[in-house]
Amino acid sequence: MKDVLKNRLNLLPAEEYALRLSRLRDLMGKAGMKGMLLTDNANIYYITGRVFAGYVYIPHEGEVINFVRRPVELDGDGVVYIRKPEDITMSLGLNMPESIGLELDLLPYTTFRRLSKVFPGVEIANASPLLRTARSIKTDFEIGMIRRSGIKHDLVYRKIPKLFSPGMSDLELQVEIERVSRLEGCLGQFRISGDSMELHMGNVLAGENADAPSPYDFAMGGAGNDPSLPVGADGTIIAPGTTVMVDMNGNFDGYMTDMTRVFAPETGSLPELALKAHRCSIDIHRELTAMMKPGVKAKDLWEKAEQMVTERDLKAYYMGHRQHAGFIGHGVGIEINELPVIAPRSRDVLSEGNVIALEPKFVIPHVGAIGIENTYAIRAGKVECLTNSPEEIVYFDL
Amino acid sequence: MKDVLKNRLNLLPAEEYALRLSRLRDLMGKAGMKGMLLTDNANIYYITGRVFAGYVYIPHEGEVINFVRRPVELDGDGVVYIRKPEDITMSLGLNMPESIGLELDLLPYTTFRRLSKVFPGVEIANASPLLRTARSIKTDFEIGMIRRSGIKHDLVYRKIPKLFSPGMSDLELQVEIERVSRLEGCLGQFRISGDSMELHMGNVLAGENADAPSPYDFAMGGAGNDPSLPVGADGTIIAPGTTVMVDMNGNFDGYMTDMTRVFAPETGSLPELALKAHRCSIDIHRELTAMMKPGVKAKDLWEKAEQMVTERDLKAYYMGHRQHAGFIGHGVGIEINELPVIAPRSRDVLSEGNVIALEPKFVIPHVGAIGIENTYAIRAGKVECLTNSPEEIVYFDL
C-alpha cells in the first residue's frame, strides 16, 4: 500500500464520503433511527474506504466517531481509540441517541448482547436492511472501482487459453488461473455477506462435475476435492466433448465484478444442445439488459428469462440439472451477494446505480456447464457492461 | 472427491463418530443441556465429517437428526430434508427438548430470533463454549488429519527457496507459494471462527512491512496492498539485510497446521540482533514444549516465554514492535483460532489431545520479522511436533 495511505483512516475523497453519509442519513431519517453503529468489515470499508477493527458511530445529526481498536497509529477526523466496546459508552457520555441501529443480520447473538449494554435504555433497531439498500445504489465512484476490477478480470480471462495444456484437471487449471489473477492484482478475498458460504477464489467446473450438487444456492456447484469444502473443482480431467466453466474471483480493488465464461478443449467437440443453451444464455443477457431500467421489477427479469428458456425447451438444464439455483442474478459490489436479487419472489425494484451480475446458465448432463455471466451497471439512460471478455465459447488449442 | 463419498452424509468412521458424539453428550450432561442444534460449517464438519447446509440436531439422549437443506440427494442415517428452519419444529413434534443449545457466539441475532421460534417454550443456552471445549481435545483420528496436513505443509515450505528470484516482491513470492501449495493439495480455505478476520492464504512479510500494524491481533500484520484488505504483503522488494517471514495456510484436509519459517536473501546479511531473536524463539519452543503437559496452566507458558525474552533484552521486539499481539500461541484444528489460548490472562489449562501452535516471534525494525511457529500435539507422555521443516533461517541463493 502507498506509504501515505498507511496511517490515514478515511480514504474516500471528501465529496464521496459526504455523499455516502448523506444517503445513509436519509435512510436513517426515514426509519426514525437516531444513530447507527457499524462493525462489519464490509460496512466499515463502505463508509470509510478502509477496513479497521472497531466501530463507526454515525449519529443522524452530529459528528461521526470512528472507534478504533486496531491498527494502532491511525490518523484521521473523529478517531477515538478504544480497548473494548464498553469504552464507547463513556465516550458518548450525554450524547446517547434515542435509538441505535446495529447490524442485526450479521452480529453474533453474544456480541449483540454485549453491544446492547453499551447503549443502556436506548431502543435497538436492525440497521442491516438499511445498509443493504444504501449499498445497492452505487455511486459513480463505486462504479468506477467495479469497472477497474472488470478490466483486470477481463485481462485474466483472456490469458486462460494459454494456461491450458492437454491432460490437465479442472483443479490444475484453476490454480494457474488463481496465480495469473493474483499477479494481475486480485486480492483473493471473496467477500460474502454472512459466513456460511465458503469458496476459494471461485469455481472452475469441468464436465460432469458441474452437475454435482453443493451445499450452496448455486446452479452449478461441483463436488470439490475434500468433504470439508465440498464445492468446486474435483480433479476431473478436462476432455474433448465437455466444457470448462470459469467463474473466478474478480476482486481487484475492494469492489468486484462477477464474470463467467466457458472454455472447451476442442473446436467442434460440443453437442448441439450445449451450443443451443449457450446461445440462449447470451440471448437472455440481451433481452434482460434491454429491460434493465429504473422502476422495473427484479422478478419481471426472472420471468422473462424463464419464458425464453421454456420456449426453447431448455428448462430441464436451466440453472442446474440435479440441483437448481433459486435466482439468476444478484447485486455485486464490496460483496458478492448484494441487492437486488433477480429471483421469482424478489420484491426488489431496479434503480439507477444498481450493479447486477446476471448469470443465466445451464448444466448439460455428461457435457458440463454452459452460459455466461456478466456484471452490469444501471446508469442514466443506459446499461453498462463491466465484464467485457468475448462471450462465445473459447476453444483451447490441442 | 471420490465418487463413493459424494452422496454420503456421515463420512466419519463409526467409532470416531461415536467418540465425538459421546464427548459432546458428556459436556451436554454436565451443562444440563437436553438438546443442541448446530449450523456452523466448522461444527457440522466436526460432527459429521462433511460440510452441508442445514442443521445437526443432537439430543442428549436419542437419535441424531441431520436436517439438510443442500446439497440434494445426500444419503445417510438420520437425514431429514427441510426447506426452512421452521420445518424442524414439525419434524421434532412431541420430542421437543426441555432446553436447547445454540451456537450463540456465531449465530447472527436475526437468525437466533428465527431459530428460537423453532423451539417455542424451550430454554435456550449457549452451546458455543461447550463446542470449543470439545473441539480443543483432539482425538487420535483428528491428530492424524493434522499430521497429514503438516507433512504437506512441510513439503511446500521446503520448495520455497527454489521459488525465489532476485528482485521479487513479497507478494510475488507469496503468489508462487500459493500456487505450489494449492498444487500440493492445499484447500485454500482458511477457517477462522467468527468472520471479522480476513486474510488470503496467509502472510508473507518482507522487511519493514512486518512492522506495519494490521486490524488484527497479530504480532506482525503487514500493510497489505489495498485498503479493503490492509494486512500482509504490500509489494516490498525482498532485499539483503532483511527477512521474509512465511506464515502460510496449512489446510490440506480440513484440519490445518500453522507453521512459520524465516527466509533471507543472502547468507550473513542479517544483523546479530535478528539472529539472537531467532535463537531466542527456538529456545522458547524448547522450553515451552518441555512444559506442555496436561494440567499445566496456559498462562504459565506465556510467563515463561516472557521471562526468557526479558532476560535476553528482547522485549521491545517481542510479538511485534509498533503493535503487539496479545497471545503467543493458540489451539488449531478445523479453525485457526481454537482453544487453548496461550496468553497472560488465559484461564485455559492444557489437556492431552490439545493441538497448539506456538509462535514466539519478533519484529526487528528495518530488518523484519523473525522467529518460528510450530504446531504441537499434547499426547500421552509426550509432545509431538506436527510441523517439521528446518527451524534455522533458510538463505536464498542469489
**SS3 category, B22:** helix
CB contact A125 to B (< 8 Å):
no
| Residues B255, B149 contacting (CB under 8 angstroms) | yes
Q: Per-residue confidence at A94, pLDDT binned at 50, 70, 90? A: confident
Count chain A–chain B contacts defined by CB atoms under 8 A. Answer: 200
DSSP string computed for A303-332: HHHHHHHHHTT-GGGBT-SSS--S-SEEE-
Q: Which chain A residues contact residue B149 at CB under 8 A?
A: none
Whether residue A208 is predicted with pLDDT greater than 80 in this model: the reply is yes
Crossing angle of helices B140-163 and B170-183, rounded to 10°: 130
Supply the pLDDT for residue B397. Answer: 80
Amino acid at A59: P
Q: Which chain A residues contact residue B198 at CB under 8 A?
A: 41, 51, 189, 191
CB contact B64 to A (< 8 Å):
no
CB contact A247 to B (< 8 Å):
no
Whether residue A2 is predicted with pLDDT greater than 90 in this model: the reply is no
CB contact B104 to A (< 8 Å):
yes
**SS3 category, B373:** strand
Q: Which chain B residues contact residue A51 at CB under 8 A?
A: 198, 215, 227-230
Supply the pLDDT for residue B7. Answer: 84
Whether residue A157 is predicted with pLDDT greater than 80 in this model: the reply is yes
Whether residue A123 is predicted with pLDDT greater than 70 in this model: the reply is yes
Whether residue B4 is predicted with pLDDT greater than 80 in this model: the reply is no
DSSP string computed for A79-90: EEE-SSTTHHHH
d(C-alpha B224, C-alpha A50), whole Å: 11
CB contact B1 to A (< 8 Å):
yes
Q: Express each pLDDT in B15-71 by its tens digit.
A: 999 999 999 999 999 999 999 999 999 999 999 999 999 999 999 999 999 999 999
Name the residue among B39, B108, B215 with its Cβ closest to that of A108: B108
Q: Per-residue confidence at A3, pLDDT binned at 50, 70, 90? A: low
Q: Per-residue confidence at A92, pLDDT binned at 50, 70, 90? A: very high
Q: Per-residue confidence at B329, pLDDT binned at 50, 70, 90? A: very high
Q: Express each pLDDT in A12-60 by its tens digit.
A: 999 999 999 999 999 999 999 999 999 999 999 999 999 999 999 999 9
Q: Express each pLDDT in B339-361 by its tens digit.
A: 999 999 999 999 999 999 999 99
Supply the pLDDT for residue A218. Answer: 83
DSSP string computed for B247-282: EE-EESSSSEE--BEEEESSTT-S-HHHHHHHHHHH
What are residue B259's phi and psi, to 5 degrees? -145, 135
Dihedral sign computed on CA atoms, order B236, B242, B245, B246: positive
Q: Per-residue confidence at B317, pLDDT binned at 50, 70, 90? A: very high
A367 is written with which cell numbers? Answer: 457435457
Averaged confidence pLDDT in chain A: 96
**SS3 category, A155:** helix
Averaged confidence pLDDT in chain B: 96
| Residues B70, A214 contacting (CB under 8 angstroms) | yes
Crossing angle of helices A41-48 and A128-136, rounded to 10°: 50
Dihedral sign computed on CA atoms, order A167, A173, A175, A180: positive
Q: Express each pLDDT in B257-307 by its tens digit.
A: 999 999 999 899 999 999 999 999 999 999 999 999 999 999 999 999 999
pLDDT above 70: percentage of residues in chain B: 98
d(C-alpha B41, C-alpha B201), whole Å: 19
Q: Which of residues 291-350 of A touch B (CB under 8 A)?
A: 322-323, 334
Contact A1 B172 (CB under 8 A): no
Q: Per-residue confidence at A397, pLDDT binned at 50, 70, 90? A: confident
Supply the pLDDT for residue B219. Answer: 76
Q: What is the average per-residue pLDDT within B360-388?
A: 97
Supply the pLDDT for residue A171. Answer: 98
Lowest mean pLDDT among A252-261, A375-384, B195-204, B326-335: B195-204
Name the residue among B51, B71, B188 with its Cβ closest to that of A200: B188
DSSP, res A180: H
Supply the pLDDT for residue B391. Answer: 98
Q: How far does B68 lie from chain A, in Å, by closest CA?
A: 9
Q: Express each pLDDT in A303-330 by its tens digit.
A: 999 999 999 999 999 999 999 999 999 9
Whether residue A203 is predicted with pLDDT greater than 60 in this model: the reply is yes
Contact B108 A110 (CB under 8 A): no
Q: Which chain A residues contact residue B230 at CB under 8 A?
A: 1, 50-52, 71
CB contact A276 to B (< 8 Å):
no
Q: Express each pLDDT in B98-135 by its tens digit.
A: 999 999 999 999 999 999 999 999 999 999 999 999 99
Q: Which of residues 207-246 of B touch A (CB under 8 A)?
A: 212-217, 221, 223-230, 234
Q: Which chain A residues contact residue B223 at CB under 8 A?
A: 1, 6
Q: How far does A381 lie from chain B, in Å, by closest CA?
A: 31
User: Which residues 6+ apart lie within 8 Å of B120 measured at CB?
Assistant: B89
Q: How far does B215 lie from chain A, in Å, by closest CA?
A: 5
Whether residue A121 is predicted with pLDDT greater than 60 in this model: the reply is yes
d(C-alpha A45, C-alpha A17), whole Å: 11
Q: Which chain B residues contact residue A171 at CB under 8 A?
A: 182
Which residue of B47, B190, B228, B231 to mutate against A (max A Cβ within 10 Å)? B228
Contact A323 B187 (CB under 8 A): no
Q: Which chain A residues contact residue B110 at CB under 8 A?
A: 104-105, 126, 128
